[in-house]
Structure 1
Amino acid sequence: MTISIKIQPNTYIDSVSLMALSTKANQLAGVDQAIIAMATEMNKEVMKNVGLYTDEIAQAQTSDLIIALDAKEEHDSVELIKKIETLMTEKKEKVSSQTSESFTTIETAKKAIPEANLAVISVNGQYAAREARKALNSELHVMMFSDNVSVEEEIELKELAHEKGLLMMGPDCGTAIINNVGLCFANNVRKGSVGIVGASGTGSQEISVRIHEFGEGVSQLIGTGGRDLSEAVGGKMMLDAIDALESDEETKVIVLISKPPAKVVEEKIIARVRKADKPVVIWFIGSEARENEEGIYFEKMSKSAALRAVTLAGIDQNSLDVHPLNLPLIDEVRAKLNPEQKYIRGLFTGGTLCDEAMFTAKERFSDVYSNIATDQEHLLHFGDASKAHTFIDFGADEFTNGKPHPMIDPSNRIARFIEEAEDSTVGVILMDFVLGYGAHPDPVGVMVPAMKAAKEKAASQGRHLEIIGYVLGTDLDKQNIDEQVEKLTSIGATYASSSQNAGLLAREFVVKGVEQ
């Protein structure tokens, strides 16, 4: 191991840019591992964990930028550092060429652009609350992409926003569509009459994409951040977002999305919805089943929720291709699997997509494990080997600390895929491929070599490896969805038409009996 460190004092780069730079740095020939990050205590801890920590890093201040590099022995680390610095310079030049003005503070930006009404905060969590407070006090709505913000700060910011009549989306809010503009991770969907409030990024993306596919569109997609429906935060942002969508003349139907909320918060949200004058569809993933009420529709799965929303908005369901499960395909795949191939391995970049597939499997199986399981008995910790039916969210904090999100850099998932494909008890590997703003330019293509090699190796060993891929995107996304699907099916993988169908197919391929 040859470790080289470069400290750039008093140099700030936002977290999204650092994720992209780290991805490019790790793709340089001769680099075993590279981390480009601000010198926060959290990032230093990450460097310790991966063996890139030095005394020089220990002395760095939080305002300093660190380039930490482990070079292969035959490569010159000094030259690699220079190449990384060139990548950073190129990014700065690109930004400068595309932007007529840049600002160093929110206050100066607001003064220069007085009509601005929203700020996106994407700085290290240590600084994020301070910047969000400045934005709110400048009468700006806030979308906070940053995570690692304390619950106390989140509550304070959301109370301040509520007092000012502003939206405080986040922290850890990855997706929004405001006035038909996608922010952070979002898909390009048509404008329409369905408003979405989501405490889940990829869950919100999935609903918006299905709504688009079914011929309707999105009026607004308001993110809340993943902790909003916790007992501590109390659903503050979701409640304010419901108010905003009720007041929005273009919104005819409201969809609410969350992983299972705290029970007391769920009841608070439903009590508010009962007073709504617009129909509301609720998809709280994994929550206990509830009966529909007048104007309130509880759905168990994503496609069902989107379908309910568009029919409430006036779309004739009989005019739609709702993509029922392919029953002959299920019989065909079952016949190909050896008796010992009993298990599903789900490898996801989207947390909610992982959740939906996991809960679908849990309806049939008791031996379902995950790094996002809510019970200790079925919880897998970072580094644990898979067991039985396993579903991994590669966007969880343990995988992203100091590294880009897997929608940007899929290297962690590729390595795990190769490992899972070697397991002779695995019948199905299930994966998502997310398109849209901020996502990898070719998410399927970057996985094709590993998928093709795995299927060929399994065949040489006398077993069929079933790969299911779901491509989350629309015909308007910059990554061509038809090309992505073609790359997937060209190597013999099965394409699922929705997150809901992906989970159902995976489950049904390895059990008897079919539910549609």
Structure 2
Amino acid sequence: MTRDLSVRPGVYHDSVALMQVSRSVADEPGVNAALVAMATPLNVDLAAGMGFTAPDGAGPNDLMIAIDAADDDALARARAIVEAALAGRRAQATQAHQSDAGPQPRTLGSAVERSDATVAFVATPGPHAFVDAMDALLSDVPVVVFSDNVSVADEVRLKQAAQRRGLLVMGPDCGTAVISGVGFGFANVVRPGPVGIVAASGTGAQQLMSLLDASGAGISHCLGVGGRDMSDEVGALSTLTALDMLAADPATEVIVVVGKPPGRRAAEQVHEHAATLTTPVLFAMLGPGQPDLTAAARSAVETLGMPWQEPRSWAAPDDAAPTTPPAADVAPRYVRGLFSGGTLCDEAMAVVAAELGPVYSNIPLRPEWSLGTDLQPMSAAGVEHHVMVDFGDDALTLGRPHPMIDGSLRAHRMLAEALDPTCGVLLLDVVLGHGAHPDPAAELARVIAECRTIASRRGRELPVVVSLIGTAGDPQDLDRQAEALNGAGASVHLSNAAAAREAVRHVVAPSSGLPPTPTARPTTPPTTRPTPTYRSDG
């Protein structure tokens, strides 16, 4: 085994780019583990957890490269991949600034002032993001804050400053935005059209945009406002500004507001303000009794006077729902949903809970449905239940690439579920677009096939249902991804809500046709639901 850790002082790269480099290196044959990241305290701790000695004096502005390889040849190949990736980014930066005569700008504000930039993008570590975002606002440009771990107080200060200047703060935790066809963060390639989106959700916005693209409607802009914006603490400051901007945009004929359940006061403000606008405003706020994202897309299309076509799907090769309940001595079957997108997980939980009862999760719909920190579907007391896990939640992405980039953590859980006789169906999401894994189906199809084989050897069928979020223009090739997943035995749906309903179709319990209510609860749940965040939106 050969291990190497190096630090490059004063060399900065954004977190998404470094996540992708880390993944490319880790995929190289002979590489056991790799971390290419800024030397933040969290990443230094992660390197220590990989067995490396913490570098002396390294800080958040220094690039850290840690590689654990099987031998010298594998290490050399890994180093070459890192160097090529970093050289490519340097070449892009040089080309972008080749016309500059003076020294390179050292602050975001000075970079804005020396260019014709109309939007600033901040992906620095959370404790530093406030300063960079405020610097951009003081230079009179709107800002996309991709960074997470920005305090609520700082978020409010930023948005109040933006409001005074007639600007928009998108974020913090703005994982997705599309402005005049230009994507920020994790973004799909969407045709231009008359629908404007205000999104307090990352993957929820991506689902809505993908459905609108497939319908032929398209979007004018998708303005991400951050997962906390419509909380009562933040007061929907960016949502209100975004509504005004879209209403003033001649290319926008319909506005859709998408997100998780808002705070009561914030919701009242937004609805009252929307009623004053001349542009129609539709709401897709997930929650009990609310329309799902596919229904919201349909409403937007029909409001435009366009025909709606149901999203495409690919049936599994051996697709067949149980026709009769299993015998009483057969283990009950439960839905196990493993998601990379928080909003997609929320939507699926709402669909399944409405049909089958409680769904336990690390981002539960109700506090009493919370999983323990081990995320296990069964406690020592033998609790069995429907479970859905958001692998994009902050607690599972600390020091790790987002699951839209690296699906290894989810793959391990899939194999564990395949061994569990109470798992009746696996429900997964796959999100395409810029910033996401370049070929997620190639990785996931192998795991799906292995899970089905494991279950088959134990005498049971294991249906796998996938919601595929993407457009025909995405770099991963939507149809190729769908065909690869379908070829591995999964049914594939371009509607996440339809995928959740398909999962319900595969779950039948003894006698009643419904799963039994859990007889005990997992590890003591927290008293409140964790605030959803979108590093990249989930």
Q: TM-score under structure 1 normalisation? A: 0.89
What displacement does 1:307 show? 0.2
Would you identify which runs of 4 or more consecutive aligned residues in structure 1 move more than 6 Å? 323-326
**How many matched pairs?**
493
What displacement does 1:30 show? 3.5
Q: Give 2:190's aligned amino acid.
A: V
Residue aligning to 1:28: 28
What displacement does 1:457 show? 2.5
- Tell me if structure 2 keeps the 8 A contact 1:52–1:68: no
Give 3-state SS (helix, strand or coil) of 2:460's partner: coil
Residue aligning to 2:465: 468
Q: Give 1:75's aligned amino acid.
A: D
Cα-to-partner distance string for 1:180-216 (whole Å, 9 max, x where unaligned)? 2222211111111111000001100111111112221
Percent of paired sites with the same residue: 38
Residues 254-269 of structure 1: pairs in structure 2 closer than 5 A: 254-269=255-270
Higher relative contact order (CA 8 A, sep 6+): 2
* Bigger shift: residues 458-467 or 90-99: 90-99
- Tell me if structure 2 keeps the 8 A contact 1:35–1:402: no
What displacement does 1:51 show? 4.9
Residues 113-512 of structure 1: pairs in structure 2 closer than 5 A: 113=115, 115-286=116-287, 288-289=288-289, 299-317=290-308, 320-321=309-310, 332-333=321-322, 339-387=330-378, 388-511=385-508
CA distance in 1, matches of 2:83, 2:319: 52
Residue aligning to 2:60: 62
CA distance in 1, matches of 2:123, 2:364: 28
Cα-to-partner distance string for 1:164-190 (whole Å, 9 max, x where unaligned)? 111110111011110122222111111
Choose the corresponding residue for 1:94, options 88, 99, 105: 88
* Bigger shift: residues 103-112 or 164-173: 103-112
Q: Give 1:274's aligned amino acid.
A: A
CA distance in 1, matches of 2:74, 2:313: 52
Residue aligning to 2:114: 112
Cα-to-partner distance string for 1:230-254 (whole Å, 9 max, x where unaligned)? 2211111111101111111111111
What displacement does 1:120 show? 1.2
- Tell me if structure 2 keeps the 8 A contact 1:330–1:508: no
- Tell me if structure 2 keeps the 8 A contact 1:25–1:84: yes
Q: Give 2:15's aligned amino acid.
A: S
CA distance in 2, matches of 1:137, 1:252: 31
Give 3-state SS (helix, strand or coil) of 1:155's partner: helix
Residue aligning to 2:12: 12
Give 3-state SS (helix, strand or coil) of 2:282's partner: strand
Q: Give 2:291's aligned amino acid.
A: K
Give 3-state SS (helix, strand or coil) of 1:363's partner: helix
CA distance in 2, matches of 1:188, 1:24: 23
CA distance in 1, matches of 2:57, 2:86: 27
Q: Give 1:243's aligned amino acid.
A: D
Q: Give 2:272's aligned amino acid.
A: A
Distance 1:451 1:232, change over 3 A: same
- Tell me if structure 1 keeps the 8 A contact 2:5–2:52: no
Residue aligning to 1:75: 71
What displacement does 1:445 show? 1.5
- Tell me if structure 1 keeps the 8 A contact 2:212–2:218: yes
Give 3-state SS (helix, strand or coil) of 2:230's partner: coil
Q: Give 2:176's aligned amino acid.
A: T
Q: Give 2:419's aligned amino acid.
A: E
CA distance in 2, matches of 1:397, 1:59: 27
What displacement does 1:467 show? 0.3
* Bigger shift: residues 339-348 or 245-254: 339-348
Q: Give 1:315's aligned amino acid.
A: M
Q: Give 2:196's aligned amino acid.
A: G
What displacement does 1:268 show? 1.6
- Tell me if structure 2 keeps the 8 A contact 1:44–1:58: no
Distance 1:63 1:474, change over 3 A: closer
What displacement does 1:3 show? 6.0
Give 3-state SS (helix, strand or coil) of 2:85's partner: helix
Give 3-state SS (helix, strand or coil) of 1:475's partner: coil
1:42 correspondence with 2:38: no
Distance 1:501 1:63, change over 3 A: same
What displacement does 1:2 show? 7.4
What displacement does 1:386 show? 2.1
Distance 1:52 1:257, change over 3 A: farther
- Tell me if structure 1 keeps the 8 A contact 2:199–2:259: yes
What displacement does 1:461 show? 2.1
* Bigger shift: residues 84-93 or 418-427: 84-93
Give 3-state SS (helix, strand or coil) of 1:364's partner: helix
- Tell me if structure 2 keeps the 8 A contact 1:209–1:472: yes
- Tell me if structure 1 keeps the 8 A contact 2:467–2:494: yes
- Tell me if structure 2 keeps the 8 A contact 1:254–1:279: yes
Distance 1:86 1:180, change over 3 A: same
CA distance in 2, matches of 1:463, 1:507: 17
Residue aligning to 1:293: none
- Tell me if structure 2 keeps the 8 A contact 1:14–1:124: no
CA distance in 1, matches of 2:488, 2:323: 19
What displacement does 1:224 show? 0.4
Cα-to-partner distance string for 1:358-413 (whole Å, 9 max, x where unaligned)? 11111133331111115443222443312421111111112211111111111111
Distance 1:374 1:394, change over 3 A: same
CA distance in 2, matches of 1:348, 1:187: 18
Cα-to-partner distance string for 1:43-96 (whole Å, 9 max, x where unaligned)? 344445x45463x3464333333233445xx535xx666544433321232234
Cα-to-partner distance string for 1:460-504 (whole Å, 9 max, x where unaligned)? 222101000121111121211111111111122112231110111
CA distance in 2, matches of 1:205, 1:302: 10
- Tell me if structure 2 keeps the 8 A contact 1:196–1:255: yes
What's the C-alpha RMSD, in Å, of the aligned pairs? 2.6
